[in-house]
Structure 1
Amino acid sequence: MKIYCATMEDLEEVSTLFNLYRVFYQQPSNLQDARVYIKNRLENEDSVIFIVKDEQKCVGFTQLYPTFSSISMKRAWILNDLYVDVKFRRQGIAELLLHKAKEFAISTGANSITLTTAVDNYAAQQLYQKNEYKRDSHFYHYDLALTN
């Protein structure tokens, strides 16, 4: 298995995994829109996508979005997406992606990586806690939906 930063050459495989990720979160499957979304991220360089590939295909990915912390006055990263193909789970791929994200964040001088997961996604919660992510107990997070 190898892990690297996705390029336009990886568009089809990343889009397929991204679509499956969205389906996991109860969104309707829409490979066409997933492809456009990932293509835009890669072309505009407004996210960083790491993928894990076995000898044949892409089996997992994580997507990081840049942000900044006013308190620390440093860069921070939002780990917005992490997904491993069902057939390849429990092989350490998600943890490999987390390590790569951490290594990348450190290399960019970031102060932190934040992420959100579903309250019933216990497997992900265990993984994050195992990798030293701490659940926030000091702040409430709010969202304002602007579209349906």
Structure 2
Amino acid sequence: MSYTIRNAAPSDIPRITELMHEYIVGFYKNPWPSDEKIHLLIQTLLEKQDGIQFVVEQDAHLIGFATLYFTFSTMRAGKITIMNDFFLLEPYRDTEVEAALFMHCKTYTQDHGFAYMSWITAAQNERAQRFFAQMGSLQGNWINYSIS
């Protein structure tokens, strides 16, 4: 299977938008924020100051993406990455592409001097939990909350 993992580029915005719609609305069943908000977010990531977005390309088509946001950990007294998004179209899940995208994020984190990479997944996403365990990840002891 031939594919490329690379940094997102401005020319990718329309296709990343489609993938993000599939991820947000199709997979997680959340409401769509709006194309304008998504485009602003992608543009912010293209600047690589607050985060970075990677895309997976196969035969000139984008088939997945991952987003790392940059923040800090008081416990480690250093910078960390948060893998906020990790998405591949259905046919590419449980394939070498999935492992390669994860390793790309992990390698980026290590190569750029971040203390660690962290992420969450939905409690019902057991397939993802199995994948992350296979990649050598440890489930943390923290309980996540959010408020709007």
Give the alignment's TM-score, normalised by structure 1.
Answer: 0.87
**Of the candidates 114, 122, 141, which is equivalent to residue 110 of structure 1?**
114
Look up the SS of the partner of 1:20 in the other structure. helix
Give the alignment's TM-score, normalised by structure 2.
Answer: 0.87
Bigger shift: residues 27-36 or 73-82: 27-36
Identical columns (%): 24
Q: 1:29–1:69: structure 2 CA closer, same or farther, 3 Å change rule?
A: closer
Which residue of the partner structure matches residue 141 of structure 1? 144
The letter of the residue matching 2:22 is L
For residues 1-148 of structure 1, what are the structure 2 equivalents within 5 Å? 1-23=3-25, 24-29=27-32, 32-33=35-36, 34-43=38-47, 45-137=49-141, 139-145=142-148
Give the number of aligned pairs: 144
Look up the SS of the partner of 1:98 in the other structure. helix
Bigger shift: residues 85-94 or 16-25: 85-94
Look up the SS of the partner of 1:65 in the other structure. strand
How far, CA to CA, are the matches of 2:34 and 2:146 in structure 1?
26
Q: 1:27–1:109: structure 2 CA closer, same or farther, 3 Å change rule?
A: same
* 8 Å contact from structure 1 (residues 74, 109) kept in 2: no
How far, CA to CA, are the matches of 2:147 and 2:35 in structure 1?
27
How far does residue 10 in structure 1 lie from its aligned partner after superposition? 1.4
How far does residue 29 in structure 1 lie from its aligned partner after superposition? 4.4
How far, CA to CA, are the matches of 1:36 and 1:109 in structure 2?
27
User: Gaps (5+ residues) in structure 2?
Assistant: none
Once the two structures are superposed, what CA deviation does each residue of 1:55-107 show, in whole Å capped at 9, x if it has no partner? Answer: 12011110000011112111100000011012333322221111000100001
* 8 Å contact from structure 1 (residues 15, 31) kept in 2: no
How far, CA to CA, are the matches of 1:88 and 1:142 in structure 2?
30
Q: 1:136–1:37: structure 2 CA closer, same or farther, 3 Å change rule?
A: same
How far does residue 17 in structure 1 lie from its aligned partner after superposition? 0.8
